[in-house]
């Protein structure tokens, strides 16, 4: 998985409102991880580029602990949420 998992530690990922814009997400990432807004925005950009690169190569783009982006049966990109883990 490499780069996607390393972009933001899973313990630092916050729930994201689907109506949030990129600056809102970067601001929340900065606050939760203790980095500057600029660094958080850069990390977000890298993560999005990695997701898109995976999808363009026909691969799934995993987000550990959350799920994965996949090509849906209709050719559209879809997000498949990870099912709850059993202990």
pTM exceeds 0.75: no
Q: Answer yes or no: are the C-beta atoms of 78 and 70 closer than 8 Å.
A: yes
The token pair that represents 16 in the structure block: 């994201």
Q: Three-state DSSP class for 2?
A: coil
Alpha carbon distance 50, 65 (integer Å): 17
The pLDDT value recorded for residue 18 is 67
Q: Three-state DSSP class for 81?
A: strand
Q: Measuring CA to CA, which residue among 49, 44, 45 is closest to residue 33?
A: 44
The token pair that represents 37 in the structure block: 């807004």
The pLDDT value recorded for residue 79 is 86
Q: What is the pLDDT of residues 19-63, one digit of tens each?
A: 788 899 999 999 999 999 999 999 999 999 999 999 989 899 998
């Amino acid at each position: 998985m490499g780069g996607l998992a390393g972009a933001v530690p899973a313990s630092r990922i916050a729930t994201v409102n689907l109506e949030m814009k990129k600056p809102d997400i970067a601001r929340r990432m900065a606050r939760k991880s203790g980095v500057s807004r600029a660094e958080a925005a850069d990390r977000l950009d890298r993560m999005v580029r990695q997701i898109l690169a995976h999808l363009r190569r026909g691969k799934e783009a995993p987000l550990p602990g959350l799920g994965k982006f996949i090509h849906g049966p209709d050719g559209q990109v879809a997000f498949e949420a990870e099912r709850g883990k059993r202990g």
